[in-house]
Structure 1
Amino acid sequence: MALSELETMEKTDDLREFRVAFFAMSRLASFPWTMLEDNLQGNKSSELVSQLLKQTCLHPLCLKFPPSVRYRRLFLSEIIKRHEATTSDPLDELYDALAEVVGAAEAGECYKSYFLPSGDAVSLLENTALISQGTTGLVTWEAALYLAEWALDHQQLFTGRSVLELGSGVGLTGITICRSCSPRRFIFSDCHPAVLQKLRENVQLNGLSPRTCPAVAVEELDWTMVTDERLGEIRVDTIIATDVVYDPEITGSLVKLLSKILNHSSAEVRPEILICSAVRNPDTYSTFKQQLENAGISHRVMSGPVSAVFPYNRLASIELMKLCR
């Protein structure tokens, strides 16, 4: 392979990395800035910066589902700072893009988009604050991204199956499974009114409206109030949940719900249960495991690497467990 072809491939990979990080609103420090600086040093052309803009702020996806105003402003300011530190020619479209966001009003919501291996994007309306309206369910958390990657690596475990997601939040994991794994039926669920509203919006945003996809449903499910009759109606093959182990009282309700579900299932048709957690408080996580043991529910940690599809902190302590009785 000629050197110029290799350089072109590397540049394309770096631009793709910029695009993926930009739409997921990753930390600016995580971007491959060295590539940009190396290219601009001693190079009068600003072609790479122009290409970079087309992959981010000028990309059609940004026009439709833009990251927050503040994030775009910081991103463009960072590019301009590095661009002006070189002898490259000025680029009007760079300053035009900044001018569009400098005076724009901030909002409490923004879009984040996560690219699937197919090249399609899952776009989600999220809150800009990590905690809003008394809940943490209005943003995407790391465990949801991890389980979505795990599902992409194990699509056969969801294909043709009926799946219930507990505590769906804004919907990243479930939408990824629906878009990539062809489940027979998928039930998103949560109990917080604001989360349910955002969840319904995101499910529809990604072309999975229950009106157009009868196999998809978004339902309110309060773990403390669900009846035996309701559990009998749900009946699924697989149950998943992410980032639901953060409060001992909540985990207690979760364990009681899972115990009810397993008690209502025969040995032959018991659902697979997958719980994925970012272990932020080891004591709380240990308490959850003890609650499972007290309820007669055993667990097995699903170890092994997953394909890196989405950008997030891979140094975080994330554990995926499979439950059974």
Structure 2
Amino acid sequence: MSGSATRRAGGTFDAKKYLPRVVHAYSALTPPRFLKIPSIFSFSDVHDFFLIDILLDDHLNKYPPARDYQRSFWKWALEKLESLSGDEEDNEIDERMYQHYTTLISSVANALPSDSYITHYWKPLDPTLSSDVEVESTYEMITLLESRATIAAGTTGLRTWRASFALAQFLVEHTDLVARRAVLELGSGTGFLGILIASLHLRFDSTSAVPTDCSRSADPPTIYLTDVNPCVLDRCQHNIKLPCNRSSSHPNIEYRLLDWCDAIFSRDSLASFFANTSAEIILGADVVFDPAMVPPLVATLSVALSQGRPRVALIGITIRNQATISYFLQEIEKALMVVEVQHTMEDSFISLTLDQVDAELEVKILKITKVASLFFSAS
């Protein structure tokens, strides 16, 4: 089918709506085996998309996926273009794509996967837009420099895990929980949730629930990002300050090394820290993974929720070991009120993490309070 025939059949319209999803997948290092290009799309539509929206894109050139991932992607992309070109003489693949692939296959492969920039796209709720609008300008980006190894530098904190995506989607769907409130995160890792919270803060002014990019009369609330590992906290800060992330312009982000064991051995010092923060929301994603860390985590949450103003914790937990989860619930329910909140896993974040080691695991989101929360209404 010629390009003009495809356009008459509506192929161009469908391509413009569908192909940006391939950019999202490429940016998030989704393996090419999960990617599809419908055969109804014309060669010119797909060719120009690969050239302009991926190869020549400014953001993807400044924050590129790892070279070994690019190598597999461009092999797939060129094979797809060659199959679409058929015998049409006008269907010529731009030499720049072949040249780029040549530089990738000539590079020396590393034994271990290298760190990589990863960009996730998310769609803020906007009541002025229809829910089925797929306009690229309606998306925001979160770009991270991450490890692609399960464990790097002795920690799992240098990559983003499934529970963070689930908790992020929940917060996007319940924006009012964080949009105008100070937030403290336990185990901030790569900074994924910190960037999201900062973006939500900057989309909302201090008095209105309507998204805005206009200047505000008051600074946004403070975000406190904490982790026990200095290397992880440094990476978190690096990602938060990347110029491409909206979080880089947030004026009130603080970073702190925080050891949950201090809740047991230095309780007064930790209590003072939490009392001095203005946080109303405590977040934690994938923080329940080691039975030995359950007592310190429970003690930390108990201290955090007992200091100052009424607070609520939202904890995303991945069900890896049911015995560990049961132990955590048994201990936390001795000190605090726990309610599981409903959430969806069918979202733009999760769909791009199909190959992660925890991709098929269940995630629960728990609301934890010292007393019944007056402002938390999501269920």
Tell me if both proteins adopt one fold, taking TM over 0.5 as the criterion.
yes
Structure 1, unmatched stretches of 5+, are: none
Q: 1:60 to 1:189 in 2, by over 3 A?
A: same
Distance 2:51 2:255 in 1: 37
1:167 and 2:187 matched:
yes
On the 8 A contact 2:11/2:41 being kept in 1, the answer is: no
Q: Aligned match of 1:126 in 146, 171, 181?
A: 146
**Pairwise CA distance, 1:231:** 2.3
Q: 1:318 to 1:167 in 2, by over 3 A?
A: same
Q: Aligned match of 1:102 in 101, 105, 112?
A: 105
**Pairwise CA distance, 1:57:** 3.2
1:309 and 2:315 matched:
no
Write the letter of the residue equivalent to 1:112. Answer: I
Q: 1:3 to 1:213 in 2, by over 3 A?
A: closer
On the 8 A contact 2:12/2:41 being kept in 1, the answer is: no
Write the letter of the residue equivalent to 2:102. Answer: A
Secondary structure of the 1:276 match is strand
For residue 15 of structure 2, what is the aligned residue in structure 1? 11
Secondary structure of the 2:368 match is strand
1:221 and 2:258 matched:
yes
| TM-score normalised by L of structure 1 | 0.88
- Alignment RMSD (CA, Å): 2.4
For residue 140 of structure 1, what is the aligned residue in structure 2? 160
On the 8 A contact 2:198/2:250 being kept in 1, the answer is: no
Distance 2:55 2:227 in 1: 33
On the 8 A contact 1:149/1:308 being kept in 2, the answer is: yes
Q: Aligned match of 1:291 in 325, 331, 350?
A: 331
Q: 1:316 to 1:5 in 2, by over 3 A?
A: farther
Distance 1:6 1:38 in 2: 9
Q: 1:11 to 1:278 in 2, by over 3 A?
A: same
Q: Which moved more, 1:246-255 or 1:161-170?
A: 246-255
Q: 1:247 to 1:70 in 2, by over 3 A?
A: same
For residue 52 of structure 2, what is the aligned residue in structure 1? 54
Distance 2:201 2:69 in 1: 32
For residue 377 of structure 2, what is the aligned residue in structure 1? none
Q: Aligned match of 1:82 in 73, 80, 94?
A: 80
On the 8 A contact 2:201/2:221 being kept in 1, the answer is: no
Distance 1:288 1:277 in 2: 10
Q: Aligned match of 2:312 in 229, 247, 272?
A: 272
Secondary structure of the 1:161 match is coil
For residue 25 of structure 1, what is the aligned residue in structure 2? 29
For residue 250 of structure 1, what is the aligned residue in structure 2? 293
Secondary structure of the 1:9 match is helix
Distance 2:52 2:320 in 1: 38
**Pairwise CA distance, 1:90:** 4.2
Distance 2:319 2:259 in 1: 24
On the 8 A contact 2:15/2:41 being kept in 1, the answer is: no
Q: 1:55 to 1:316 in 2, by over 3 A?
A: farther
Q: 1:145 to 1:57 in 2, by over 3 A?
A: farther
Q: Aligned match of 2:274 in 198, 216, 231?
A: 231
| TM-score normalised by L of structure 2 | 0.76
Q: 1:237 to 1:217 in 2, by over 3 A?
A: same
Q: 1:161 to 1:17 in 2, by over 3 A?
A: same
Q: 1:93 to 1:221 in 2, by over 3 A?
A: same
1:194 and 2:239 matched:
no
On the 8 A contact 1:111/1:125 being kept in 2, the answer is: yes
**Pairwise CA distance, 1:71:** 0.3
On the 8 A contact 1:149/1:307 being kept in 2, the answer is: no
Write the letter of the residue equivalent to 2:259. Answer: D
On the 8 A contact 1:276/1:320 being kept in 2, the answer is: yes
Distance 1:97 1:46 in 2: 19
**Pairwise CA distance, 1:5:** 7.4
Q: How does 1:31-70 map to 2 (within 5 A)?
A: 31-33=35-37, 35=38, 37-39=39-41, 45-70=43-68
On the 8 A contact 1:17/1:32 being kept in 2, the answer is: no
Distance 2:345 2:147 in 1: 28
Q: 1:249 to 1:73 in 2, by over 3 A?
A: same
Q: Which runs of 4+ in 1 moved over 4 A?
A: none
Write the letter of the residue equivalent to 2:307. Answer: H
Q: Which moved more, 1:213-222 or 1:123-132?
A: 213-222
Distance 2:185 2:256 in 1: 10
On the 8 A contact 1:166/1:241 being kept in 2, the answer is: yes
Q: 1:158 to 1:4 in 2, by over 3 A?
A: farther
% identical equivalent positions: 26
1:319 and 2:319 matched:
no
Write the letter of the residue equivalent to 1:187. Answer: Y
